[in-house]
Chains A and B, each alone.
Chain A
C-alpha cells in the first residue's frame, strides 16, 4: 500500500520542493495543516526554512502543535522533520533568544561554532555517517553526501542520534526516537542520495 504523505503547512518551509520530491518518488502528497488530512496520512513531513522563533509562533498559532502532538505522540504516526523542522522537536533553541520547542526529543538547538576555514552558515554538501541499522540509510552507500544549509544545530542525547557529520566537530545530522525522525540536511535537495533516503523512510512507513 502506497504511503499517503501530509506535508505540514505552517507558512514556513520550502513546501513545494518537498512536495516535488515526494510525488516524484510516487507517493500521494498533500500540503496541509488540517487535522482531517493528518489523520488520513500514513506519514507526516515537517519542512523548515526559517527562524526558530517565527516557526514556533506559527506552529502554536491556531493549535497546530496540539493537532500534531495528537498524531505524533498519541497515534504514533511516523514523522520526518527536515532542517528547521527537525530542530523544532527540541526542548529549546537559542536562535532568537531562548525559545521553547516542541520538546519531543530532549535537547537544545545552539549556534554552530565558527571554526578556522569553515563558515557559518554551513552551506553545501557534507559526508554523513549513519548509525548501524538506521532505517533512513537502508538505500544508501557508506559515505553518503547530503546538502546542508543551517546556522544552528541540535545537541541531544546519544540514544536519539541517527547520524552525524563533521563540521569543526561531529554534529548531529539526524535523530530518531520511535516514530519521530529528523534530518538536519535537506533530502529533497540532495539529488539521488536524498531521494534514496526518503525512499528508505517511506519503505519503513509502508511496513508499519
Chain B
C-alpha cells in the first residue's frame, strides 16, 4: 500500500507556500492545517521548520504540541534537530518520527546515535536535490547552493548510518505544479533498499497518480497542492483508487464513485443523482 503524505513547510511559525526553495507566501497556522488534513484522511504529516537551523534553534515545541493534539496519523517533525536531547523533547511534544537535513550532512553520526536509541524507523533523512542541466546534485538549503558532496554517495552514506526512510525534495519542481520528476524518483529507489518519500511539483491528482503508479516510491508527498486544491486529499485518493493504486481508503466520506474532470477537479453530479440524494440519511460516524 502506498502512502499519501502532506508536508507542511513552516517559516516563522506559519505554514507557507514554497516556490523553488526561494519564495515563501504565508498560508496559516500549522495546527489548523494538521486538523483539516487529519479529518480528510491524509496518511501521514511531515512538518519542517525551514528557519530553525538558520536561527540555531529547535523547531518550536509548543507549536508541535498544539499541532499533535488533533493528529491521529504519524507526525514527522524536522527543523533544527542536532542532538539526542532534541529527539526526546520532540517525542514528549507529540512527534512520532524526526527528520534530519542539515544535521545529516554536518554530523552524520547523529543518525546512528538516534537510530540506536530510538530505532532506525524513527529517523527520516531529508535530501534536497536540484537538477542542473542533465545532472542531479545535492542542494544545501542553508547556503542556497549546491553541496560539495557527491549526491549518490551521500545518499548511500546516510543509509549506511542508519536512516529508516529517505525524504527526497526536488528543488526545481518545488511550487511549479508541473508534476514530479519521476525519473529521479526511480533513480533514488533503485539506489537504496529503504522506503522513499518523494516530494516536489504536484499540481493535480494525476501527478500523484503518476508518481505512485509508475515508480517504486513508498510514499508521495505534496505541500502546496494540499493547501490550494479544494477537497485535495479526498480527490487525490479518489483518483488513486480509480487508477488502481493501492492506497488506504477508510475515511467516512470518499469520492471514489465521483467523476473528475481533465484537471482532476470534482465534476458536479447529474441532477438526477442529486435529486436522489435528498432523501438519503447519512449517519454520523461514531468512534
Q: Which residues of A contact B (CB under 8 A)?
A: 11-17, 20-21, 24-25, 49-51, 54, 84, 114, 117, 119-121, 123-127, 139, 141, 144-145, 147, 149-151, 186, 188-196, 199
Contact of B69 among A20, A145, A190 (CB under 8 A): A20
Does B282 count as interface, using CB distance less than 8 angstroms?
A: no
Contact: B119 with A145, CB < 8 Å? no
Given A13-B91, A192-B285, residue A126 in contact with residue B121 (CB < 8 A): no
User: Could you jot down 23 A-B contacts, CB within 8 Å?
Assistant: A11-B88, A12-B117, A14-B96, A15-B92, A16-B68, A16-B92, A17-B75, A20-B71, A20-B94, A25-B287, A51-B116, A121-B121, A123-B218, A124-B1, A125-B3, A145-B1, A150-B119, A151-B120, A151-B121, A151-B164, A186-B96, A188-B72, A190-B72
Cβ contact within 8 Å between A16 and B65:
yes
Shortest distance in angstroms between B239's beta carbon and chain A's nearest beta carbon? 18
**Which B218-251 residues sit within 8 Å CB-CB of chain A?**
218-219, 248, 250-251
Contacts of B152 in A (CB 8 A): none
- Which label, helix, strand, loop or mixed, suits the secondary structure of the A interface? mixed
Residues in chain B near residue A150, CB distance under 8 A: 119, 121
Assembly CA distance A6 to B93 (angstroms)? 18
Do the beta carbons of A121 and B195 come within 8 Å of each other?
yes
Q: Are A17 and B248 in contact (CB under 8 A)?
A: no
Q: Are A192 and B250 in touch, CB under 8 angstroms?
A: yes
Closest A residue to B1 by beta carbon equals A125
Once the chains are docked, how many angstroms separate the CA of A17 from the CA of B70?
Answer: 9
Q: Which residue of B lies closest to A150 (CB)?
A: B121
B122 at the interface (CB under 8 A from A): yes
Residues of B within 8 A of A121 (CB): 119-121, 164-165, 195
Of the listed residues A84, A147, A191, the one surrounded by the most CB atoms of chain B closer than 10 A to its CB is A191
What 4 new A-B contacts, CB under 8 Å, besides A13-B91, A194-B72?
A49-B119, A50-B119, A127-B1, A195-B72
Q: B151 in the interface, Cβ–Cβ < 8 Å?
A: no
The answer, yes or no, to whether B108 is at the interface (CB within 8 Å) is no
B175 within 8 Å of A by Cβ? Answer: no
Q: Which of chain A's residues have a CB closer than 8 A to the CB of B70?
A: 20, 24
Q: Which of A144, A189, A196, A199 has the most CB atoms of chain B within a 10 A radius of its CB?
A: A189
> Which chain B residues lie closer than 8 Å to A186 at the CB level?
74, 96
Which residues of B are at the interface with A, using a C-beta cutoff of 8 A? Answer: 1-3, 38, 41, 43-44, 65, 68-75, 88, 91-97, 116-122, 164-165, 193-195, 216, 218-219, 248, 250-252, 285, 287
Q: Say yes or no: B194 contacts A119, CB within 8 Å.
A: yes
Asked whether, in the complex, the Cβ of A16 is within 8 Å of the Cβ of B93, the reply is: yes
The answer to whether B118 and A51 touch across the interface, beta carbons within 8 angstroms, is yes
> How far, in whole Å, are A119 and B1 apart by their CA atoms in the complex?
12
CA distance A141 to B88 in the complex (A): 36
Residue of B nearest to A139 (CB): B287
Cα distance A190–B164 when bound, in Å?
A: 20
Q: How long is the Cα–Cα vector from A139 to B1 in the complex, in angstroms?
A: 23
Contact status B120-A49, CB under 8 Å: no
Asked whether, in the complex, the Cβ of A124 is within 8 Å of the Cβ of B193, the reply is: no
Are A17 and B118 within 8 A (Cβ)?
Answer: no
Q: Closest CB-CB distance, A87 to chain B, in whole Å? A: 11
- Kindly list chain A residues whose C-beta atoms are within 8 Å of the C-beta of B96: 14, 17, 49, 149, 186, 189
Q: Which of A25, A84, A119, A144 contacts B119 (CB 8 A)?
A: A84
CB contact under 8 A between A124 and B218, given known A188-B72, A192-B252: yes
B3→A124 contact, CB < 8 A: yes
Tell whether, in the assembled complex, residue A123 and residue B121 are in contact, meaning their CB atoms are under 8 Å apart.
yes
Q: Is the CB of A193 within 8 A of B164?
A: no
Which of B70, B116, B117: most chain A CB closer than 10 A? B117
The distance from the CB of B131 to the nearest CB of chain A, in whole angstroms, is 26
Residues of chain A with a CB closer than 8 A to B1's CB: 124-127, 145
Give complex CA distance A189, B165 in Å. Answer: 18
**Residue of B whose beta carbon sits closest to that of A191:** B72
The 8 Å CB contact of A50, one of B41, B118, B251, B252, is: B118
B116 to chain A minimum Cβ distance, whole angstroms, is 6
**Known A12-B118, A17-B75, A196-B287; contact A191-B38, beta-carbon cutoff 8 A:** yes
